[in-house]
Amino acid sequence: MNERILELFQQSPEAYVSGEEISRRLNVSRTAIWKHIEELRAAGYEFEAAPRKGYRLVSKPDKWQVTELLQGLRTKVLGQKVHVYGEVDSTQTIAHALVASGAPEGTLVLAEAQTAGRGRMGRAWHSPAGKGIWMSLVLTPRVPVYFLPQLTLLSAVALCRSIQKVCQVDIGIKWPNDLLIKGKKVSGILLESSGEDERLKYVIAGIGISVNLKVEDYPEELRSVATSLAIESGAEIKRETLVQAFLLEFEELYALYLEKGFSPIRLLWEALSVTLKRPIRTHSPSGVIEGIADSLDDSGALTVITGNGEKIKVYSGDIELR
């Protein structure tokens, strides 16, 4: 029924279609129409409703343009195999299954919407249809598990730099790999890895970027902590362009890393950090740590200098900027 309603609107683009007319032509009740319009709204269609005029279809949800994405992609490996889905529970789950059935390095999973997007520390990630980039990238780096934290930081650098190239926002990295604009989260990365003894078997980088969400697309409780590129830059961003920029940036940094090691990546991370030299608080197994985030070491750990001058290394977890 939703499809038949959409057809009606597409027959008269830009115009209002009255509830009465829909009701008559499709032979359904006004209440049923209202219910279907709400379903379509949840799927990313935007309608304007005006008294006595009816409904007008304002915009359709963005759909991944795969041909366009691939044509403009300047990478050698990353993203050269793309799997595109409508609504999925999580692109991570799909990518794990693809790896199990032999998907090669660079395989990319894109979804319009996620019903159970995963964030850091077991948190949910809000991933409405067509408004963001919800993707997973398969990597099989030939580095020891020991170096995984460096890949986490590299991912953040690649994502931050590609966003800077595509839109005008003042974006920075909160340790280890959250991206913030004016203190609000705009993008997150979750690296799920699989290792065998000291060897890394594969890594799946789950990346969520809130691209074209409007303030009203966020649940009330997220509005003070989350934002989107469109909200902050004042302009809609073409998702394909950002994916292309990210994959290219990642591939270049990854090659640099494999050749030169972590030093150049650390310099870039430090330059983009909103964490270093700032007071932070974090919880460790031995209690709360408060101090100034001082530096990053080769293991990806954050060195924090506490009030009494003690240096403490923070290897994992969440930090709070104070």
288 strand-pairing partners: 283
Count of Cβ atoms closer than 10 Å to residue 9 Cβ: 21
Annotated binding site for biotin: 114, 118-120, 185
Closest separation in Å from C-beta 319 to a second copy: 12
300 close to 149: Cβ distance less than 8 angstroms: yes
Spatial contact of 89 and 114, defined as CB atoms under 8 Å apart: yes
Q: Is 264 an interacting residue with respect to a second copy (CB under 8 A)?
A: no
Residue type, 290: E
Neighbours of 312 (CB within 10 A): 17
- The contact pattern for a second copy, residues 268-287, with x = CB under 8 A and - = no contact, is -----------------x--
The residue within the footprint of a second copy, chosen from 90, 167, 300, 319 (CB under 8 A), is 300
User: CA torsion sign, 266 to 272 to 277 to 279?
Assistant: negative
146, 168, 235, 322: residue in contact with a second copy (rule CB under 8 A) = 146
Residue 40 vs 137, nearer CB to a second copy: 137
Residues 81 to 120: which contact a second copy by CB under 8 A?
120
Stretch of residues binding a second copy (CB under 8 A), selected from 1-9, 62-70, 191-199, 271-279: 191-199
Cβ atoms within 10 Å, residue 230 = 21
Pick the stretch among 21-29, 50-58, 161-169, 293-301 that binds a second copy (CB under 8 A). Answer: 293-301
149 binds a second copy (CB under 8 A): yes
Per-residue x/- track, 150-189, a second copy (CB under 8 A): --x-----------------------xx-----------x
Least distance between a second copy and beta carbon 89 (Å): 14
| Strand segments (E) across the chain | 46-50, 54-59, 82-88, 108-114, 117-118, 124-125, 132-139, 171-174, 178-181, 184-196, 199-210, 279-284, 287-296, 302-305, 311-314, 319-321
- Residue 123 as a binder of a second copy (CB under 8 A): the answer is no
Q: CB of 88 within 8 A of CB of 64?
A: no
Name beta bridge partners: 187. 179, 209
Instruction: Determine, following the binding rule CB under 8 A, whether residue 311 of this chain makes contact with a second copy.
Output: no
- Specify the residue, 213 or 302, whose C-beta has the smaller distance to a second copy: 302
Of 41-49, 56-64, 192-200, 232-240, the segment contacting a second copy by CB under 8 A is 192-200
Q: CB–CB of 157/179 below 8 Å? A: no
- Under rule CB under 8 A, residue 312 binds a second copy: no
What are the binding residues? Answer: 114, 118-120, 185
User: Under the rule (CB under 8 A), what is the footprint of a second copy?
Assistant: 120-121, 142-149, 152, 176-177, 189-199, 285, 299-301, 315-317
